[in-house]
């Protein structure tokens, strides 16, 4: 280290290897590995970016403004074509995995997107005259539903957006965009998971308690709690049915809402 102190760093890989030696961490390297190179971090970076693009777009949108994070990241920020290629490959794998989980749990899915997953599964079974799906079948349906690993994104815990590329969702005001921060209840592109059902039920219970407090205290937050109630109440028919006769739901629920509009 002393020999190179104060000299320009011509290669980061060299410095990294010296650091590993100085910190006595070489035993953590795989025995076949000849030292470490900065390229090793490319895959880690690609995985982190792909995970964020698939599972946490709201964070990226907060960072970059409400533009399409896919375009912003891959076209403007990540100039390294190899990293972009890795991101896209990993993103595709993650989306297919997401779809496989959805197919496996299709009977418990909610939202119109959930209905489409069930329909695709049943159609496949009918077409191939099968009573159950094997792993290869599930992969095939997952690729078909996601257009080979594109488009599906987790917009919040338990909510998957399946908006096709170049379409416009009710949450955004330009073509080819979604805005997870403004995800709308009842959107035709939504898949809701069983986790979302229990969360929705908990949220309705919580909102009703806060709504009652706001009423009792004649609080200015009353209209906010009414909006929250309408936001959460109409996602799942079973959750709606549970709370439909609650006096605050009767008084402050959406008068234009129709029960049959919630997918069964």
- Binder to ligand SF4 among 87, 141, 183, 226 (CB under 6 A)? 183
- Binder to ligand SF4 among 110, 149, 158, 180 (CB under 6 A)? 180
- Binder to ligand SF4 among 158, 169, 253, 263 (CB under 6 A)? 169
- Binder to ligand SF4 among 161, 203, 207, 208 (CB under 6 A)? 161
Kindly state the smallest distance separating residue 184's Cβ from ligand SF4, in Å.
Answer: 4
Nearer to ligand SF4 by Cβ, of 95 and 183: the residue is 183
- Binder to ligand SF4 among 170, 214, 215, 237 (CB under 6 A)? 170
Kindly state the smallest distance separating residue 183's Cβ from ligand SF4, in Å.
Answer: 3
Kindly state the smallest distance separating residue 261's Cβ from ligand SF4, in Å.
Answer: 15
> Is position 100 an interface residue for ligand SF4 (rule: CB under 6 A)?
no
HEC secondary structure over the chain: CHHHCCCCCCCHHHHHHHHHHHCCCHHHCCCCCCCCCCCHHHHHHHHHHHHHHHHCHHHHHHHHCCCCHHHHHHHHHCCCHHHHHHHHHHHHHHHHHHHHHHHHCHHHCEHHHHHHHHHHHHHHHHHCCCCCCCHHHHHHHHHHHCCCCCCCEEEECCEEECCCCCCECCCCCCCCECCHHHCCCCCCCEEECHHHHHHHHHHHHHHHHHHHHHHHCCCCCHHHHHHHHHHHHCCCHHHHHHHCCCHHHHHHCCCCCCHHHCCC
- Binder to ligand SF4 among 87, 96, 163, 233 (CB under 6 A)? 163
The residue ranges that bind ligand SF4 (CB under 6 A) are 155, 161, 163, 169-171, 178, 180, 183-184, 187, 189-190
């Amino acid at each position: 280290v002393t020999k190179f102190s104060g000299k320009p760093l011509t290669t980061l890989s060299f410095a990294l290897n010296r650091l590993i030696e100085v910190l006595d961490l070489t035993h953590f390297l795989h025995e076949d590995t000849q030292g470490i190179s900065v390229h090793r971090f490319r895959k880690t970076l690609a995985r982190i970016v792909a995970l964020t693009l698939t599972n946490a777009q709201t964070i990226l949108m907060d960072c970059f403004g409400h533009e399409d994070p896919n375009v912003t990241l891959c076209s403007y920020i990540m100039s390294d074509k190899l990293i972009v290629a890795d991101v896209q490959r990993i993103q595709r794998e993650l989306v297919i995995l997401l779809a496989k989980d959805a197919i496996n749990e299709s009977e418990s899915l909610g939202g119109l997107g959930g209905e489409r997953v069930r329909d695709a599964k049943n159609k496949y079974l009918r077409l191939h005259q099968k009573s159950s799906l094997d792993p290869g079948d599930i992969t095939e349906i997952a690729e078909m539903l996601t257009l080979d690993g594109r488009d599906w994104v987790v917009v919040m815990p338990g909510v998957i957006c399946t908006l096709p590329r170049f379409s416009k969702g009710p949450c955004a005001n330009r073509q080819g965009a979604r805005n997870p921060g403004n995800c709308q209840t009842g959107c035709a592109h939504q898949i809701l998971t069983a986790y979302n059902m229990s969360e929705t039920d908990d949220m309705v219970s919580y909102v009703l308690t806060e709504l009652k407090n706001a009423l009792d205290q004649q609080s200015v937050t009353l209209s906010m709690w009414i909006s929250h109630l309408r936001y959460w109440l109409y996602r799942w028919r079973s959750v709606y049915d549970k709370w439909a006769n609650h006096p605050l739901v009767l008084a402050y629920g959406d008068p234009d809402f129709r029960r049959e509009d919630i997918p069964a």
